[in-house]
Amino acid sequence: MIPSLMSGLKEWAAGIQSKHGVNPWLFLGLMISCAPFFYYSLYRLARAFTSRNAGQINLWSSVFLAATALPYIYVMVWGRNLPWYIYLILGAILTQGIWSLIKRRKKGKEGSG
């Protein structure tokens, strides 16, 4: 049972990599390695919001965005033959995150000036 499951997973991953140019194991590794940064930045972001520290909010918002976006940027840059709507969805998510960060930074600068 286990050997056939493992060989099935290997075939599945090889198929995805050959068709789309994205290694699912690397994507999973990026997701797992970004998780601690994601959760720690979320924690620090909540603390910065409660203390109303604009500098810390900007810093931890940037870390949060990077930890969230890195695996998806990998897919956007190295992926090929993906359906057009995948690029649309990933682009919209990244654009929204960057736009949100820019708005937050402008709001922090206006409030401190």
pLDDT string in tens for the chain (113-residue length): 677 888 888 888 888 888 888 899 999 999 999 999 999 999 998 999 899 888 888 889 889 989 988 998 898 889 888 888 988 988 898 888 888 878 877 776 655 54
41: tokens are 């930045």
Interatomic CA distance for residues 75 and 21, integer angstroms = 9
Which residues lie below 8 Å from residue 74, measured CB to CB, with a gap of 6+?
22, 26, 27, 30
Are the C-beta atoms of 76 and 93 separated by less than 8 Å?
Answer: no
**Three-state SS sequence of 8-52:** HHHHHHHHHHHHHCCCHHHHHHHHHHHHHHHHHHHHHHHHHHHHC
Q: Which of 75, 53, 65, 56 is nearest to 96 (CA)?
A: 65
105: tokens are 């930074």
Give the chain's mean pLDDT: 86
pTM of structure: 0.71
